[in-house]
Structure 1
Amino acid sequence: METKPAEPMRRDAGISWLVSRIRPRAGRTLVGIDGVDGAGKTTFADDLAAELADSGLTVIRISLDDFLNPAEVRHAKGRTSPEGFLADSYDYQRFTDDVLEPLGSDGCGRYRAKSYDGLTETPVSPPWQVAPDAAVVVVDGLFLHRDRLRNARGRKVWDLSVWLDVPFEESVRRLAQRDGSPSDVDDPRIRRYVEGQRRYIERYRPAERADLVIDNT
């Protein structure tokens, strides 16, 4: 197996690195794009997917944000709980059943791309889709390197995974511009999210688990 790059890459070089390693692969390939809120996960995943499609590959785009738990589960530990944000935000069982298992290299290919609408806070059951035997599945989301997303042998489920490295001060600034949220990383109104993600980084060390680290500041 090729050695992981020793230093973080810039985003364009990182996308080229990923494309060069994905194209020769046979069957389906699961690619996870991880990072804190505001790190640029969706944009990076979309750009990678476009590059892969331009090279002639079939690409399936999935977002973990479409597999939220219902609000009563997400806030079961309290609406300000950082541990609740880390532990209870996502329905990993449904994500595994509908995405990871069917779209893995040995999966049947019959998948669903969404289980929950966060805007309306309602469960959804879109029609099943069937992926071709050769496809690249690009998933963006928080907490993609946590232990819940490891196989029975303790290895991460991703064939390739990325950690987008962005300081909290910058990611919070971006979120403030995008969503109107507080711009101060120490603001108590966003403590649940910032502290929950800090715990994730300290507990699971995603930069070490990822195959590639991107400086996306």
Structure 2
Amino acid sequence: MRVRPITSERLVAELADRLAGTAVSGRLRVAVDGPPAAGPDALAAALVDPLRAAGRPVLHVLAAGFLRPASVRLEQGRTNPDAYYEGWVDETGLRREVLDPAGADGSGRLLPSLWDAATDRASRAGYVELPPGGVVLVSGALLLGGGLPFDVTVHLALSPAALARRTDPELRWTLPAFARYADEVAPASFADVVVRVDDPRHPAVVEPG
């Protein structure tokens, strides 16, 4: 494989061009996957305007809006990396409210968020109609390998040393979860687009061959 250095601006432009040029039945379901230190939410947010400029309606959904209730999520403790890895995100809800309705036979009626982790209550978000040809960007951590129906997957990769260095001290307890993810799921081995972000100022696209 080859690693191609790229600017952050060019990365957004290339991804937006690729997604805008990808046609599917229904809506295009895109995962932007990576640990918080890699900035998957920021990258997904940066894609919204270029995609709209290219004529593609867009909805950005944060996986953090689909966390399980605290009584379930924190049942094994607030800083349990295995619990974080195995089920903080309500994947069933994400599939039911976002990914399935965005599919070829879906209604296009999507719920941007299901749960407000700050208040530990339903988010009360309203449904959004995403027309055929639209793009739904789902951003967050640990999104791949669980069978969620994405059409395009983008994975932001960090070396273990860079991940440890760049992770907020309050979130360092999650590091074993990401080590398991890299070992058991190996998202960098199958994601459609893999971007190394050890240095956020100098990303690099991993290209096969």
- TM-score, structure 2 as length reference: 0.83
Query: 2: distance between equivalents of 1:124 and 1:17?
Result: 33
Partner of 2:52: 53
Question: Gaps spanning 5+ residues in structure 1: where?
Answer: 150-156, 183-188
The CA RMSD over aligned residues, in Å, is 2.2
Maintained 8 Å contact 1:35/1:41: yes
* One-letter amino acid matched to 2:88: S
Quick check: 1:63 aligned with 2:62?
A: yes
Quick check: 1:161 aligned with 2:153?
A: yes
Partner of 1:7: 3
Partner of 1:190: 172
* One-letter amino acid matched to 2:172: I
- TM-score, structure 1 as length reference: 0.80
Maintained 8 Å contact 1:33/1:141: yes
* One-letter amino acid matched to 2:22: R
Pairs aligned (count)? 195
| 2:37 partner SS | coil
Partner of 1:205: 186
Shift of 1:215: 2.0
Partner of 2:120: 121
Q: Counterparts of 1:121-140 in structure 2 under 5 Å?
A: 121-140=120-139
Sequence identity (%): 28
Query: 1: distance between equivalents of 2:64 and 2:33?
Result: 12
Shift of 1:98: 0.3
Partner of 2:14: 17
Maintained 8 Å contact 1:103/1:111: yes
Partner of 2:30: 31
After superposition, the C-alpha distances for 1:3-33 in whole angstroms (9 at most, x for unaligned) are: xx85365344433332232223334111110
Question: Gaps spanning 5+ residues in structure 2: where?
Answer: 200-209
After superposition, the C-alpha distances for 1:96-148 in whole angstroms (9 at most, x for unaligned) are: 11001001232111111111111112122322222111201111011111224
Partner of 1:154: none
Query: 2: distance between equivalents of 1:105 and 1:141?
Result: 23
